Amino acid sequence: MAAPDDGADGDEPLLAVEDLTTVFHTDKETIRAVDGVSFEVSEGETVGVVGESGSGKSVTARSILGLIESPGTIESGSIRFRGEELTGGNWERHRGDLSIVFQDPINSMNPVYTVGNQIREALRIHQGLRGQAAREEAVRLLEAVGIPDARRRVGEYPHQFSGGMRQRAVIAMALACDPDLLVCDEPTTALDVTIQAQILELLDDLQREEDLAILFITHDMGVIEETADRVNVMYAGEVVESAPVETLFDGPAHPYTRGLLASIPGRTATGDRLPTIEGEVPTPTESASDCRYAPRCPDAFDACERVHPEHVRVGPDQTAACLLHEEVRPRPDGRGDRGRRRRRRGRRG
Ligand code: ADP
Ligand code: MG
């Protein structure tokens, strides 16, 4: 592969997402599924995106891969790969540099072709391999993802594979593009716990052996703790906290992060019932003029309904978008209202 020479400066991360806003225009309303999201992924790094269902994780992933279809559109923001802008239709140039693994392995494969056939097709398109070379590489990839008896199984159909083996095969297909960045969108959510652990271990090995950067998306804080170097917590289309994984788990700065952490089994000794965050993620249809988490937040105070929190630095390498961490904003009458917190747990937004 030719050395990248696109005028990017050497400090550019592998992937830089900046102020990404992806919306869906429906008959009734505009859904702001991803609303001003920024984060970076460096070479060889695993960056996690975590949040409840509906927070915009998958739309973020699809935006990065150029997979947003009508009625969706990337409304604004920037997605740069090695310094080169992808939005505006430049994904074609980087096809194969970025690859995605979805939650459901059965829908990721074509049932009428053998597993080997599908891997060879990816090898042909992305690496120009054909014939014997492609056959050998397909077997090597299946071996690399831990499929026993790969030489025989390369000739089998997806339905002949168990769920875990199928997800391994899907990962092999993703690797056939020889990607620099692998986006994994809930890759283990459909699998049982034992198989999940094996797949996570596999991704970890592959990252080192194949020199991959991984963007790992999950709703599961336990999985994030095991996989990510750095974590972005998403809520209702926005990143609300970003920190290295240890920092996030030792000192979560956003009440939403604290809520997610409290619901990890075994983390808090609270008898037999895990605390959960009451209520649901709202579907954002307007630009935020408040904190979208406020209606569910145990720490919300008056200003949270009126002010959209910006990210503030709360530690050397940690930011949170929460008014608890901002200087008291003067109200129109000149008084701060930091002290006027009230509990609003249970109120629905
Ligand atoms: P997550 O992956 O975090 O569970 P998604 O990214 O799938 O969440 O969805 C974020 C929001 O975008 C949700 O409110 C969802 O309803 C909306 N959304 C996703 N895809 C579409 C679509 N094709 N049309 C309309 N709304 C969509
Ligand atoms: Mg999703």
Query: Which ligand sits closest to the CA of 70?
Result: 1
Q: Which of ligand 1's atoms lies nearest the C-alpha of 281? A: 14
Query: What is the best residue among 20, 21, 22, 24 to mutate for testing ligand 1's pocket, by most ligand atoms within 8 Å of CB?
Result: 24
**How far is residue 262's CA from residue 273's CA, in Å, rounded to a whole number?**
11
Alpha-helical segments (H) within 145-178: 150-153, 163-175
Residue with CA nearest ligand 1 atom 15: 54
48 close to ligand 1 (CB < 6 Angstrom): no
Count the neighbouring beta carbons within 10 Å of the beta carbon of residue 322.
26
DSSP H/E element including 234: strand 230-235
What distance in angstroms lies between residue 59's CA and the mean position of ligand 2's atoms?
7
Position 29 pLDDT exceeds 60: yes
* C-alpha neighbours within 13 Å on the C-beta side of residue 87: 21
64 close to ligand 1 (CB < 6 Angstrom): no
What distance in angstroms lies between residue 53's CA and the mean position of ligand 2's atoms?
6
- pLDDT confidence bin for 339, thresholds 50/70/90: very low
pLDDT tens digits, one per residue of 238-266: 999 999 999 999 999 999 999 999 988 87
Contact indicator for 291, 323 with CB cutoff of 8 Å: yes
333 or 220, which is more confident?
A: 220
CA 9 vs. chain centroid, Å, equals 26
pLDDT tens digits, one per residue of 129-169: 999 999 999 999 999 999 999 999 999 999 999 999 999 99
What distance in angstroms lies between residue 101's CA and the mean position of ligand 1's atoms?
18
Q: In the chain, what's the furthest Cα-to-Cα distance?
A: 77
Position 4 pLDDT exceeds 50: no
Count the neighbouring beta carbons within 10 Å of the beta carbon of residue 81.
26
Count the neighbouring beta carbons within 10 Å of the beta carbon of residue 149.
10
**How far is residue 273's CA from residue 9's CA, in Å, rounded to a whole number?**
51
Amino acid at 43: E
What distance in angstroms lies between residue 59's CA and the mean position of ligand 1's atoms?
6
Position 127 pLDDT exceeds 50: yes
Query: What is the best residue among 28, 31, 189 to mutate for testing ligand 1's pocket, by most ligand atoms within 8 Å of CB?
Result: 31
- Strands 84-85 and 72-81 come out as antiparallel
**R_g over Cα of the chain:** 22
Q: Which of ligand 1's atoms lies nearest the C-alpha of 283? A: 14
What distance in angstroms lies between residue 186's CA and the mean position of ligand 2's atoms?
7
What distance in angstroms lies between residue 54's CA and the mean position of ligand 1's atoms?
6
Phi, psi angle pair for 107, to nearest 5°: -80, -10
pLDDT tens digits, one per residue of 209-228: 888 999 999 999 999 999 99
Phi, psi angle pair for 95, to nearest 5°: -60, 130
The structural domains of the chain, with segments of one domain joined by +, span 104-178
For the full predicted model, state whether its pTM sits above 0.85: yes
Phi, psi angle pair for 237, to nearest 5°: 90, -5
